[in-house]
Structure 1
């Protein structure tokens, strides 16, 4: 029995489709809430608390409402997607593939989601109308924090995240059960990218070059035309010349700073 099977604690209680729909939402608030409730940890912050309060152009209450709206849309689309794929199956019950196949499917889904989000994200920056009226809402968080990871204009939330997730699910051919692990992992990675903390031993920082500091560069003025890749790899940035490296330096007032470097 593989690790993915041993982690299916919900079997007999709720369906895979229900878990695939709601587990990422519940995990979002638990994981993001964990970051929000951490002690100040000023020495690990990429921006000071004062910067967060002064530079951000939107309140926490507005951010929470925006994320909840996006999650309502995501849950609705997920239920429709699972219903359609179930009807397309001859038996109505998808056969769960072997662990190696599931791992391959998750990797394919990661590449598909990265590809979709890179080109959609980049176009929303390059098209002045879309940036001004749609994508600029996300950049009201000049200093990102965990709860704001999915704070977007509703149309962007649908195009970038919801539709991107649906495409990666369909292209990879994963089952609803496998999707639980993939979407929960994607949610955690997205939150971590926006948490604003460079914590020692963070596995996302160890295994992914596209991490908290990498995405923080994109939220800075001098990096807004770079580091579009999200949420997993930096492949497209490197291939298409939009990669901006950085160095982590210690600020005199305490904490860290992701400082852009010329590539």
Structure 2
């Protein structure tokens, strides 16, 4: 039993709930006071290093979400028509938890190798992936600021594969996709807040991904959004230390030259 039952279908929720969650959660971070002592970059760094305006970022994210919503509707429609029963039976909670965990592994695997290839292929990096790295200093609203083709390949296809391979129902997918969106936003928020549950349970976190956005870390820490397994296994993990800056705030400092 879910709160939207009887109002909208699971397919519709799976399509639009992640979009609503994105703007609510990212908006929450954007509306927070500066909290300079918990920031990984100063306001001056954000203004000087970022190569794109907030309005452009918002437009880019909306475009990507439009594509994602279209693909999601097609995906749910196809799977619904392929079901002999028409309405999928919701499995037990333990089975759903296992499906979500497996979906996390599938998404991580897909995104690691596609993301890494986009960095090593000069054409793809210059014309596609570099758009995301225009945000040298990441912030929450820009978590899904990508070239539309990258958004389709990395996020949309990655989500579709996670959904199809694990066999989760559209209802389970609502929770998984919303969780993935929240985690991605948190990884780009630029804040190291005390008590952040994601920092407690995931080594792939805000500071981890901030290293990747730095020049010396651009060929490291490709893993996203959940685990750091592939980076560690394939030698692309860059360790870091979190230090306090003299002028205030924090810095994720790479430990490799």
Q: Same fold by TM-score, threshold 0.5 exceeded?
A: yes
Gapped regions of structure 1 (runs ≥ 5): none
The 2-side partners of 1:155 and 1:20 are apart by: 21
Considering only aligned residues, what root-mean-square deviation do their CA atoms show, in Å?
Answer: 0.8
Query: Structure 2 residue aligned with 1:227, among 193, 198, 221?
Result: 221
- Which residue does 2:68 correspond to in 1? 74
Confirm whether residue 57 of structure 1 aligns to residue 51 of structure 2: yes
Shift of 1:91: 1.2
- Which residue does 2:28 correspond to in 1? 34
Which SS does the other structure have where 1:39 is aligned? coil
- Which residue does 1:134 correspond to in 2? 128
- Which residue does 2:141 correspond to in 1? 147
The 2-side partners of 1:92 and 1:51 are apart by: 53
Which SS does the other structure have where 2:87 is aligned? coil
Confirm whether residue 85 of structure 1 aligns to residue 85 of structure 2: no
- Which residue does 2:111 correspond to in 1? 117
TM, length-normalised to structure 1? 0.97
The 1-side partners of 2:10 and 2:69 are apart by: 14
- Which residue does 1:205 correspond to in 2? 199
The 2-side partners of 1:262 and 1:49 are apart by: 26
Query: Structure 2 residue aligned with 1:258, among 235, 249, 252?
Result: 252
Query: Structure 1 residue aligned with 2:181, among 181, 187, 195?
Result: 187
Shift of 1:77: 0.4
The 1-side partners of 2:42 and 2:106 are apart by: 35
Shift of 1:262: 2.9
The 2-side partners of 1:136 and 1:120 are apart by: 14
Which SS does the other structure have where 1:259 is aligned? strand
TM, length-normalised to structure 2? 0.99
Structure 1's consecutive aligned runs of 4 or more residues displaced over 6 angstroms after TM superposition are none
